[in-house]
A and B are shown apart, each in its own frame.
Chain A
Amino acid sequence: MEALFYVSGTVAMISTLRVVTGKNAVHALLYLVVSLLAAALVFYSLGAPFIAALEVIIYAGAIMVLFVFVIMMLNLGPGAERQKKGLLDPKAWAGPALLALVLVLELLYLFAGGGLEGPPRAAYINPKAVALALFGPYFIGVELASLLLLAALVAAWHLGRREKEGIR
């Protein structure tokens, strides 16, 4: 478990570094996905499987898909040719694939070992503990976040509606 922590931590650091230093938006995004997956494994190895799952579902699986979505749409506009030149470089894709491969191997190792026996340092945090913390001491934080989300929702609805009328 300890080795797992260090390996995925290293992967996370390297890929995050590549996110920052990368010149191309899509390459940087793919590195960011790898970095988030690595962070999920770090959480798992620390005994917080619930947070690990949320990290993959929400960050890697939903938010990053939206980012890729937007970049895909932008790529169609003028100046796409200039961007595409960089994107066709196969060397840029080898990095994320290699790092993701390391994660896959780790996951295989986990499965082969039959799963989590006992995390080394931290206590095992199950979903119930997270729920009790969220709706106990951090209740106000949850409510404030939901207010913020509601405001964003209303704003998005407003913008979307105006644009539709403009098209008609």
Chain B
Amino acid sequence: MQGVITPLIMIIAILVSLTTMSAGLIWMERRLLALWQDRYGPNRVGPFGLLQVVADMLKIFAKEDWVPPFSDRFVFILAPAVIMSAVLFAFAVVPFAPGISVIDLDIGILFFLAMSSLNIYGIVLAGWASNSKYSLLGGVRGAAQMLSYEVFMGLSLMGVVMLVGTFNLRGIVEAQQGLWFFVPQFPALVIFFIAGLAETHRIPFDLPEAENELVAGYHTEYSGMKFGMFFVGEYLGIVLISALITTLFFGGWLGPVLPPVIWFLLKTMFFIMLFILLRAALPRPRFGQLMSFGWKLMLPLSLLNVLATGAALLLLA
């Protein structure tokens, strides 16, 4: 029994802390955005406005769980669940610290890529099942954008994989004892970060939900907790990408003095804040610009990075 109970406790602890953290991020994003835009942001409910999230959550849970009569009922309900579960499954391979991870898969990176490609279904099905033109356009945009950026998201990681010789995320962290990989793999870091922005469809790449053209894009027809799941799913995606940047390029839990988990959290928090700063700083491109930027600039760059890494490894070997 011991062999089942310990992993179960680990899974529950990680799930609870992740969902709480991403709900807390909503408050953090609003406060930080306000700071960068010379406003106060939510500062009335509780100390520093921290209880604002609790109030919002209570409100969203109490809202009527409404399904539009013209929608495809079952897929409509399924789509938010797909988003949440795909992101949460991807966290299973993230090594938070030695001994703190759900599963130590040999194909860790590939598992993450697989889950992020299944994530597309949430958006596509939500857009299609809503049976409304704005939702459908958002869904189509989301599918095209995420499919394209996934290609070189995977390619950018291959440089790291070539350096270490394994897809195992724990192995990758341990290989960074001497040198964090953002030094030899700086182009890969930039490409992965941009692809991560597109995968989580955050500003500047939030075209699937561009509010000035598509109302709210693929989740236009959603309300109540189903909308809340899209919302929390988006923040979970940010946490996931930040955690992976930390793991792959910034030495994961490695660091002096402080305990490993604290190092991991600190580094992840830094990248989450970078995501929020980008939202405060950048405008949104047109969809054509987004696609041509991806295929004409990022794809050749990531291929060049793989080529250069391979050549360097051959020369040094």
Chain A residues at the B interface, C-beta cutoff of 8 Å: 26, 33, 49-50, 52-54, 56-57, 60-62, 65-66, 68-69, 72-73, 75-76, 84, 87-88, 90, 92-94, 97, 104, 107, 110-115, 126-127
Contact = CB atoms under 8 A, between A and B. Distances in A.
B120 interface: yes
Contacts, number: 97
A126 B202 CA distance: 35
A49 B168 CA distance: 12
26 contacts: A33-B121, A54-B110, A57-B110, A57-B154, A60-B118, A62-B150, A65-B124, A68-B125, A68-B143, A72-B139, A88-B72, A90-B73, A90-B74, A93-B75, A93-B78, A111-B7, A111-B102, A112-B8, A112-B11, A113-B4, A114-B7, A115-B103, A115-B105, A126-B106, A127-B107, A127-B167
Contacts of B3: 113-114
Nearest to B136: A72
B92 A53 contact: no
Given A56-B114, A57-B110, A113-B4, A93 B74 contact: yes
A73 B89 CA distance: 30
Contacts of A52: 107
A92 B72 CA distance: 11
Nearest to B89: A107
A26 B125 CA distance: 10
A111 B143 contact: no
A65 B143 contact: yes
Contacts of A112: 4, 7-8, 11
B223 interface: no
Given A68-B125, A111-B7, 18 more contacts: A50-B110, A53-B110, A53-B111, A57-B113, A57-B154, A65-B124, A68-B143, A73-B140, A88-B72, A92-B74, A93-B78, A94-B74, A97-B74, A110-B103, A112-B7, A112-B11, A114-B3, A114-B7
A40 to B, nearest CB: 8
Contacts of A68: 121, 124-125, 128, 143
Interface in B135-174: 136, 139-140, 143-144, 147, 150, 154, 167
